[in-house]
Amino acid sequence: MRAAWQIYGKQLHDTKNELSKVKAEVVELKAKQEKGMIAFSGALPNGIRDEAHLRYTRLFTNVGNAYNSTTGDFTAPVKGVYFFTFVILASNSRNSGAILTRNGDVVLTSHDLKGSGDPTDTTTNSVVLQLEAGENISMQQWLGSRLYETNNKHNTFSGFLLFAL
């Protein structure tokens, strides 16, 4: 009888150890999931924009708080692959355009030249980037262009983490 209890005791001990390992893995996975929940989307404030650094202050969402609407900068909180997209609207009496930068360097641009015959011009672009934690993404206005925003929120900038690395 004593041997049976020893076997049962060992099995119980082993089961407790396995349960502890599983609990630790669940805690680790939850922490990784919470770090990987990064998404933002915002629009420019109303009015005419002709400053160089664009700040999208009317946020639709900012899960993970990686986008700073005061500075206009997105800072990658984790190493991973991210998706970014932007839309620009302007009067056709001026050139319109924007530049997506990474750590101050141009990644991609999109612009529309004035005089197309319609009252407004729209341009857009998107990109998938692998970023290290701490890298910075921001939007700059195309030199000499002017953007116009209304309550309709035409000028938007969005990004999110596809997956962490």
Note down pLDDT in tens along the chain; length 165 residues: 667 667 777 787 777 888 787 787 766 656 655 666 999 999 999 887 767 899 999 999 999 999 999 999 999 999 999 999 999 887 666 777 899 999 999 999 987 776 656 666 778 899 999 999 999 999 999 888 778 788 888 899 999 999 999
Rounded CA-CA distance 113/119 in Å is 12
What angle (nearest 5°) sits at the alpha carbon of residue 78, between those of residues 74 and 82?
60
SS3 of 94, please?
coil
Q: How many CB atoms lie within 10 A of CB 138?
A: 21
The separation between the first and the last C-alpha atoms of the chain, rounded to the nearest angstrom, is: 53
* Six token digits for residue 70: 């005061």
Of 156, 153, 139, 131, give the one whose Cα is nearest residue 46: 153
Dihedral (CA of 46, 51, 54, 57) sign:
negative
Rounded CA-CA distance 75/67 in Å is 7
Rounded CA-CA distance 78/124 in Å is 26
Rounded CA-CA distance 25/20 in Å is 9
Q: How many CB atoms lie within 10 A of CB 158?
A: 20
Rounded CA-CA distance 3/18 in Å is 23
Which pLDDT does position 21 carry in this prediction? Answer: 79
